[in-house]
Structure 1
Amino acid sequence: MASGDELVKVVTKKIVQYMDEPATTRRERRMQRKQEKQPVSVELFGILPMALKYFFKRK
């Protein structure tokens, strides 16, 4: 059961680090992740819709 204890320690450490971080830093990180996200069409259907869009846009 040592792995369970280690897991609790790691999770607790991550939570404490998150809580000690200023709110502005957390907001900035959240906004950065949101901007790096791929479009919904790519998330749902893969690269094919994007490839088709570029193909028809080129013509």
Structure 2
Amino acid sequence: MASGDDLIKYVTEQVVHYMETPRAERKQTKASAKAQREHWMTRWFGVGAMSLLLWWRGRAERQR
């Protein structure tokens, strides 16, 4: 495990990097990361739950 000095050095470097990055660039990075994320149902329950949901919705629409 890293010593306390190494941890403090790492955290300090991360904070300085964050502070030096322009606000617009940070917002753009956050937005692009959010856009690349999978849908919450797929992340939490996998593809099986999503396919079951799509099947169920299609079944309900066909009955109308």
TM-score using structure 1 length: 0.76
Structure 2: distance between partners of 1:19 and 1:13: 10
User: Where does structure 1 differ by over 2 angstroms across 4 or more consecutive aligned residues?
Assistant: 49-53
Summarize the alignment of residues 1-59 of structure 1 with structure 2, pairs less than 5 Å apart. Answer: 3-52=3-52, 53=54, 56=55
Give the partner amino acid of 1:19: M
Unaligned 5+ runs, structure 2:
59-64
Name the Cα RMSD after superposition: 1.7
Larger radius of gyration: 2
1:21-42 CA distance string (max 9 Å, x none): 0001000000001101110111
Unaligned 5+ runs, structure 1:
none
1:1-54 CA distance string (max 9 Å, x none): x7111011011111111011000100000000110111011122012134444x
Structure 2: distance between partners of 1:17 and 1:44: 32
Q: SS at the partner of 2:38?
A: coil
Aligned pair count reads 54
